[in-house]
Structure 1
């Protein structure tokens, strides 16, 4: 029997890739995000399965309750609840407007907490279910200019661990945390920016499809925490074992690899309102394999585009 899967943040990046991955498994989907147009596009991409789209802003009161009610009205139950919704902001802590910092935390941490609260209420009534949260390696380490995002992901790490402890008396209800490293999604260029340079994922960069496979695997075989990214363990070790050296190096490395050379005026990005034009699975930070297949010309073209970012 196919599962009923709710995906919050399904319009772009990891959430959109996860929607496609669950659809390939034949699962029925309830897709949520702020903008209706990208959700309709994702529904068309998952046309072989039954899909319900519910425009949802996780920062709005009762929005997640309404999402769960819509899912149950349509499919009679919820089996898996996936939360991938997130926004990002670049800027030194004292230069980032407080309203932007607060909204990032409201979306990335409190929105995820709201998803857990609503999902658990349904799963406790049903006696079973799986919640899958998308954290980040930045829930274990820190990086300059991303204070709001880092604070949210550290908070999410603590929340997940606490809820996992509280679920020990309910073995059929599981909470999983998937922690990616750098991923090729649009979130970096969609971020609010008060730093003056457009952000980008530092290498090594993974694909959103890889993270989506980890999410689907957690739905099949729930685990407490899954790390997705070859370099994650190295960064965590450096942060923990050599904190002084880590702090000396992380700033220059962030400016070199985590910021592009493109200037940008101060802006709120998609923190307060979605940008449907920017909704896509990938952010264009990885080379296009079709171009690489063309040989040297494709390789050179891909390299030039990355240098211009």
Structure 2
């Protein structure tokens, strides 16, 4: 009796990228769990609204991770070998796009708010937010359109007709991340005043801003490149698109949990951690010895240096939750 040759399907370019993207997203979700616990342990005095915002981000990313896992469970586990299940539209992988857009909206509004807080010139304080607002809103609107139309399809190959919407959403995300990073670094660079402690703090803030915006922009750009250069039936863009939600959450939690370190890097004293005490120059003058009938002022503190430090503390304190 002749043996029947098995049917072998090569899913390396179909569900292979989905599996890799899910693994990266789960790794970022694990990092977010650690950062969330660290935040609630070390920042107990934060306003309730900020804490609720952190909980909401964690909940959205957790729901996004569950959708990603359930999306590959059906074709690779419960319905393995079922051709219809493999070729059909997986609702979970369509829904995740909407959650991704909501989290990106929350994260980018947070970054634009930082520019508004630190901005002193109208072009930064009002111009940049006005420029980026349509792009941020479009990401949510475009994702809702993609989800609504994608759920109406029966076969996964039909989703390729919505590729222009997905490309537009990810292009907008990359543009917003790049502009906010450049604007924030420019503001911090222009805020330098020559004081070593203040310039050191601003330097750490610039590094933090680069790490915040560069990674999300890089993932969004790679997603667009893969979507434009690969065949429609291959979803290689899932490798970098699926982890974006968790990556946005991780960058926000990284900013919130790094505030104490940025205010006091390497154990040094920065301008934002200085506590100014009132100084009585009358008592200091009275206690100094006289030399040839004149008071020796060499040990007296200079009020000019103290005022300069106080001047730098106030704007930094104003950006407490914008770091």
TM-score tier after normalising by the smaller chain length = under 0.3
The structure having more radius of gyration, on CA atoms, is 2
> Which has the larger share of helix?
2
Q: TM-score, normalised by structure 2?
A: 0.25
> Which has the larger share of strand?
1
